A and B are shown apart, each in its own frame.
Chain A
């Protein structure tokens, strides 16, 4: 009996530990924090506090499938003057001086067989926040998993193209 009890107890404890872990990992508000980036860029500071337009840093969003991310030189356009000696800005300078790409961690991506066209959505007057949420309130952006259901629901609602290939797949 005693031998069995230990095993049952271990199983219960492990099960409980997993449940607690899952709860902490996915459900608690601060656990939604995104992965650590090479430079702790804050969307809250840039987009929220300083009110910089999304398109300033994501310039191709209205012209291309991809919104584009700013080149290192673009960051320095401002940061040569603003907090130029901050350690993280110094790191940015290092990227620039050594001609190195900044290895940002990718947060938003869809499956390989799906091609999301930003241009069409921006030109159809869909605000960035409708899909990306209130990024201006967040410091570190979290990963977002994109579900086809969201796309389809919205496409039906707005009477948009729901043809498999002509709309999204490739």
Chain B
């Protein structure tokens, strides 16, 4: 055959092929039984409880055709009131994680062998009975914080095996806070704080907006208190060596020398006693304190802490004059060695300044209080080696990662004569050391109860179909431990009978009612009497130990991360991809260093340094910033996994590697800091995957602020100029049309003109909105390499700007598509892909887009994202995709749509009921989850809508309004309280 003939035949062949081809067949699978609560194409919501941290927020899981596609806060839940943090939003990515184990794995000579659930269960049964027969205490259990029902089941089961009750392990167990509460109030408990009612708030490091106790609850309470009200703003001071996100939201973050928080707090106690605060308390109580605090004179405090006299005096005046002051202690890790003394002093101040303790709620205590102290956990692992123990059961804990490497966890688990069963869905560091890994059902798949507060009943229910045949851990334990006298047929009936026995519910009907609301205040919870057991001698003994500030040599601190908590979030790609709120670095965990320190050490940003302590060393890139005090190095806990799946493996560095393994002798808490480190440059560098163009605003401020007095005096600029401050606010409505300014005719809007008001004064920069947006809108995860290339896809990013004059002052600004009335993107697109809808929304028509990227060039806000690749969702992560939102493919531009799918649902509902859409009916995903209600969405055409009322605020401005884009996102300036 010659070339010519070949081409002819090939041509004919392809024509016939093209003519004969029909699209691949698609299938429509019918159900076998139609469930009552499922309408295809419509969402069903199930109330449940978030188990991503011990706080226990209520969630609503959105189920579409049998799978959950989104979780949102449950508005009826007393703890989180409808809000959720980014970790809660990302709970879905645990359920749908591609690295989730599907069958039990048994270790043998050749590695891990998959076995059946029946075999794993019979093996567990055999091992436990064998151990129980050999003698007592030969089975041990370490569990995460669980609900009362699971805990009592575990305890009963272990009793069957002649074994002690399970030890509850949480990496952050608040030992110092608990011990301080016992010392001062006689209660080893973790009460909640009614922060919303305070009139002065002082925190000595407590990072309550990130991880501390119950971050969503406190973020909400904090902004209830701290928002602008009647021209007033309650002051909030954050004193400590690190500016966490909480510190960034304080009116002033005051650096003190490391370890001197305690001295400041004790100095304040002394001041309070001096002016006879707390005189209702008996003199017998105050006298020993009076003597013990004698050394903490003002001079000594100032000298040791490095605070300015002006600030200290101001602090004293504010605190002593306040009616309801609230002081909070150390951060979640309480890594400071003197954390206990600080917390004791803080409790004393709360007691002296408000002897009725009105802001402390001893009834609604945080459930994490049941966790064991670190010292007990360390003792537990020691006893595994010293005692004759045959079997260790681990329930969803990862001590091999969460404890410093020298703690002896590895050695204990690797013993030949110890059989380790890990109930875990992932191959993490601890599971790797186990002999049998037993995956169990996840919280969103099971019946359970978990109450984050003592006086709340909060339930879990299966919100989705099952992806794997994993049983519930309760069922496994019931079947294994109890031979004949099984307390219940299965865990669900056990749970029900327990709740009835505890009088949490009365009957089946009550149970269903509780399941429907998901969480309710528990009227039967025993109330604590207000009587306090005051033991002044003990307190005096503790605080009279003369406290000195640490030496100011280099020190190192590991702090919990808002993204990964204790490290359990590191396998969820949303959390990795969303940048840290302060450093704005994604996928990596750099070490933060003050510019002065960096200069002294001759280090620049991106240099990889080696940090060495007597317990180990690590290498990490440096991020130079002003959020830490000089001579202190800070890293976030959570990354640096050596296992735990594809998203966690090899990402970032684990700071725990260089921390001391022992616990604090007084509180039993862990030590998250050390001052015995050496650093040296490795000579290598790493590009940091940060998501910002600039740290400051270069004298052309974008995130605007206004002073409180300035605002109250009405000294706002006249809106007649050409800068962002004084450009007239022009609403994206026909009335905003001005023939002198506008080239294009005004847009007519039919009934609605959607707009968003962003109150910068309320935004705390937590990033919950970003996570919600990722979940709702099927946004691609690009990974570290592509972030470095600047190809992140986020539709909504929280920009962080540092004040050029005082670098530690930070303003957060959520940046999303501004849905301009005069949208620059619309006028440059050759194919009209950005389309201005009749309700004012700037819509990107994906199938029109040909990828010229002119629009993103012309967009002054740089909020448009181009798909350089087809992003993949590894199976079964694709199951989470929202079926109402198109998955965009390569070559297409995309951006915020104001959650158009939700607007359409609202339209449909309103049409069915033949009424207009009500104000507040359309709630985009970001607005829904914002813990501080910083975002408000509505129609500007409605003169009574909340957005319309808010734009009349004198603080309102439009980002780069002077470009005459007439954005529909209207910002309210952040109000600065002069500190």
Contacts and interface: CB of A to CB of B under 8 A. Distances in A.
A complexed with B: yes
Interface of A: 7, 11, 14-15, 18, 21-22, 25, 35, 60, 63-66, 68-74, 95-96, 99-106, 109, 111-113, 115, 117, 119-120, 123, 143, 163-166, 169-170
Given A68-B40, A112-B887, A113-B846, A166 B904 contact: yes
B508 interface: no
The 10 A-B pairs with the shortest beta carbon distances in the complex, nearest first, are A66-B41, A64-B41, A101-B29, A65-B41, A71-B34, A106-B26, A71-B31, A165-B843, A113-B886, A66-B40
Interface stretch (B12-20, B72-80, B519-527, B615-623): B12-20
B5 interface: yes
A112 B885 CA distance: 9
Contacts of A143: 22
Nearest to B841: A165
Interface of B: 5, 8, 12, 15-16, 19-20, 22, 25-34, 39-42, 835, 837-839, 841, 843, 845-847, 884-887, 897, 900-901, 903-904, 907-908, 911-912
A18 to B, nearest CB: 5
Contacts of B887: 112
Contacts of A35: 25
Contact of A123 (B26, B42, B911): B911
A73 B41 contact: no
A101 B900 contact: no
Nearest to A143: B22
Most buried by A among B15, B16, B897, B901: B16
Given A120-B908, A165-B835, A166-B904, 9 more contacts: A14-B16, A18-B15, A60-B39, A64-B42, A71-B30, A71-B31, A71-B32, A73-B33, A95-B32
Contacts of B26: 105-106, 109
Contacts of A95: 32
Nearest to A100: B32
Contacts of A119: 908, 912
21 contacts: A18-B16, A22-B19, A35-B25, A63-B42, A66-B40, A66-B41, A68-B39, A73-B32, A103-B28, A112-B886, A112-B887, A119-B908, A120-B908, A120-B911, A123-B911, A163-B838, A164-B835, A165-B841, A165-B845, A166-B907, A170-B900
A100 B872 CA distance: 29
A65 B39 CA distance: 10
A155 B42 CA distance: 24
B237 to A, nearest CB: 47
Contacts, number: 126
A106 B40 contact: no
Contacts of A7: 5, 8
Contacts of A64: 39-42
A77 B901 CA distance: 36
Contacts of B32: 71-73, 95-96, 99-101
B811 to A, nearest CB: 33
Given A72-B30, A106-B28, A113 B847 contact: yes
A101 B31 contact: yes
Nearest to B901: A170
Nearest to B4: A7
B29 A102 contact: yes
A94 to B, nearest CB: 11
A43 B903 CA distance: 36
A111 to B, nearest CB: 7
B27 A104 contact: yes
Contact of A21 (B19, B34, B835, B886): B19
B40 A21 contact: no
A69 B27 CA distance: 12
Nearest to B848: A164
Contact of A105 (B27, B843, B911): B27
B29 A103 contact: yes
Contacts of B12: 11, 14-15, 18
B539 to A, nearest CB: 63
Contacts of B31: 71-72, 101
Contacts of B837: 163-166
Contacts of B835: 164-165
Given A64-B42, A72-B31, A101-B32, A111 B25 contact: no
Contacts of A105: 25-28
B709 to A, nearest CB: 45
Nearest to A167: B904
B908 A106 contact: no
